[in-house]
Amino acid sequence: MQKLIINGGKRLGGEIAVQGSKNATLPIMAAAVLCGGETVLHNCPRISDVYSAMKILTYLGCKAGFDGSGNTVVISSETISANDISDELMREMRSSIFFLGALIGRTGRCRITLPGGCDLGPRPIDMHLSALRKMGAVIREEYGVLDCFADGRLHGAKINLSFPSVGTTENIMLAAVLAKGVTVIQNAAREPEISDLADFLNKCGADIHGAGSSRITVNGTEKLHGCEYTVMPDRIACATYLACTAAAGGEIIASRCRPSDMESILGVFEQMGCIVHTHGEKIYFSANSPLRAVDPIRTMVYPGFPTDAQAFVMAALCKAKGTSVFVENIFENRYKHVDGLKRMSADILVEGKVAVIEGVPRLYGAKAAAPDLRGGAGLVAAALSAEGTSEISNIHYIDRGYEDIEKVLASAGADIKRE
């Protein structure tokens, strides 16, 4: 079992080039199944979830792999030789669910089991299934196996989402691009990764309008083709490195990012007393004075404060002067990092969906286990600001979403190594 060993108290500095977006890369890799040709994707992060998506693509009969040592993934989907996915592969990550929309769109048939992923409380897929049924899919669910058929092609439909779910919006788009007729998604999620998926699909010949707004229209087409595409920067990884800098103190430049996607998070860092300047694809960030508590943070759908940033922003607030409050509105069980933060002497009280953080003058290094991907990143941020040595275990969670986290932080001056 690998661990991260962190000697806290080192200020961060220098430039961090932000990786490509995990949450954009994964649905786009599934979308490559629809293209029936060669897809060349630049800026894909080398993270374990991307390797899991490659394993699924290979299982389906596609060719998929990194092209050399960089961040370009090449996928060929001329032939699809299977339309089922094994339980083992489905369980490796939550994003395996995107292959449902993609496979039924391409082959009219799909047999999968329920997806895995971080345990953030119940993560049902009822909205995905009900939308696909509206588009003509017949879906049988037995003992955790989903058997899905379309009689020929799916058909377009008007779908009103009861909640703007990111994954459901993306799965409908995937199923709709090769369906007969027009699909309209009302109350669609507006996350930037949805626009990235739409831009990719449109470059492959799809006809999608309105991505990034609450109403998305997909005009079904008969055939798509492969293309070359550059995945957007990872706004959550970028925010993680800013939170690490806020927690540890220092000054960094985050480059190759898109600050306009991050306004709600950047506003919180400014309230903490950090200085944030944005210019083009760069964020100049400094945390040179003691941090202050902030107004209550309520996690919301985009453009609200993202639930994915809650854990590491909380870690940065553990030493901020005053009381900060989080209200987690998206997932039921997303405070599992609090236990690790408390081991480092943070003062946090959790009651249902509310967490109250009383700033303390110092954190102390401790042994803690990453409970999930972003919770693990929160523990790393706290360990960087703690006195003494911390050991973070269960880092396979962190590796699902961060490319070489220890190398990135070490290059910025942190004392961190993988053991």
The catalytic residue positions are: 118
Pick from 126, 151, 263, 347: which binds ligand UD1 (CB under 6 A)? Answer: 126
Task: Write the DSSP string, 307-339.
Answer: GGGHHHHHHHHTTSBSEEEEE--S-SS--TTHH
Containing 184, the helix (H) or strand (E) segment is: strand 182-186
**Would strands 63-66 and 12-17 be described as parallel, antiparallel, or unpaired?**
unpaired
Dihedral in degrees, nearest 10, Cα atoms 225, 228, 232, 237: 110
Six-digit token string for 118: 């971080």
Helix axes 22-31, 48-59, angle to 10 degrees: 10
Place of tokens 């339309």: 83
Please tell me whether residue 127 binds ligand UD1 under the rule CB under 6 A: yes
Please tell me whether residue 25 binds ligand UD1 under the rule CB under 6 A: no
304 CB-near residues (< 8 Å, 6+ apart): 264, 298
Please tell me whether residue 231 binds ligand UD1 under the rule CB under 6 A: no
The string over 269-304, giving b where at least 16 C-beta atoms fall within 10 Å of a residue's C-beta and e elsewhere, is: bebbbbebebeeebbebbbeeebebbeebbbebbee
Place of tokens 């996350």: 191
SS3 43: coil
* Spatial contact of 395 and 9, defined as CB atoms under 8 Å apart: no
* x/- letters, 54..93, toward ligand UD1 (CB under 6 A): ----------------------------------------
The string over 314-334, giving b where at least 16 C-beta atoms fall within 10 Å of a residue's C-beta and e elsewhere, is: bbbbbbbeeebbbebbbbeeb
Please tell me whether residue 353 binds ligand UD1 under the rule CB under 6 A: no
Beta bridge pairs of residue 354: 327, 351
Q: How far is the CB of 199 from ligand UD1 (least distance, A)?
A: 16
**Would strands 415-418 and 389-393 be described as parallel, antiparallel, or unpaired?**
unpaired
Pick from 269, 285, 331, 397: which binds ligand UD1 (CB under 6 A)? Answer: 331
Please tell me whether residue 239 binds ligand UD1 under the rule CB under 6 A: no
Binding to ligand UD1 (CB under 6 A): which residues in 263-302? none
Please tell me whether residue 128 binds ligand UD1 under the rule CB under 6 A: yes
Measured from the CB atom, the residue of 91 and 123 that comes closer to ligand UD1 is 123
Q: Of the ranges 30-38, 103-111, 121-129, 211-219, which one interacts with ligand UD1 (CB under 6 A)?
A: 121-129
Please tell me whether residue 171 binds ligand UD1 under the rule CB under 6 A: no
How many residues lie near ligand UD1 (CB under 6 A)? 23
Binding to ligand UD1 (CB under 6 A): which residues in 188-217? 189, 193
Please tell me whether residue 176 binds ligand UD1 under the rule CB under 6 A: no
Q: Of the ranges 161-169, 252-260, 269-277, 352-360, which one interacts with ligand UD1 (CB under 6 A)?
A: 161-169
Peptide bond into 303 cis (omega under 30): yes
Pick from 242, 314, 330, 384: which binds ligand UD1 (CB under 6 A)? Answer: 330
Pick from 308, 328, 372, 406: which binds ligand UD1 (CB under 6 A)? Answer: 308
Pick from 45, 105, 167, 378: which binds ligand UD1 (CB under 6 A)? Answer: 167
**What is the spatial distance between Cα 226 and Cα 67, in angstroms, rounded to a whole number?**
16
Please tell me whether residue 95 binds ligand UD1 under the rule CB under 6 A: yes
Q: Of the ranges 33-41, 59-67, 138-146, 159-167, which one interacts with ligand UD1 (CB under 6 A)?
A: 159-167
* CB-nearest residue to ligand UD1: 167
Measured from the CB atom, the residue of 285 and 331 that comes closer to ligand UD1 is 331
Please tell me whether residue 352 binds ligand UD1 under the rule CB under 6 A: no
Q: How far is the CB of 298 from ligand UD1 (least distance, A)?
A: 13
User: Counting beta carbons within 10 angstroms of the beta carbon of residue 79, is it exposed (0 to 12), middle (13 to 18) or buried (19 or more)?
Assistant: exposed
Pick from 125, 239, 341, 384: which binds ligand UD1 (CB under 6 A)? Answer: 125
Measured from the CB atom, the residue of 43 and 165 that comes closer to ligand UD1 is 165
**What is the spatial distance between Cα 41 and Cα 199, in angstroms, rounded to a whole number?**
13
Q: Which residues bind ligand UD1 (CB under 6 A)?
A: 23, 26, 94-95, 122-128, 163, 165-168, 189, 193, 306-308, 330-331
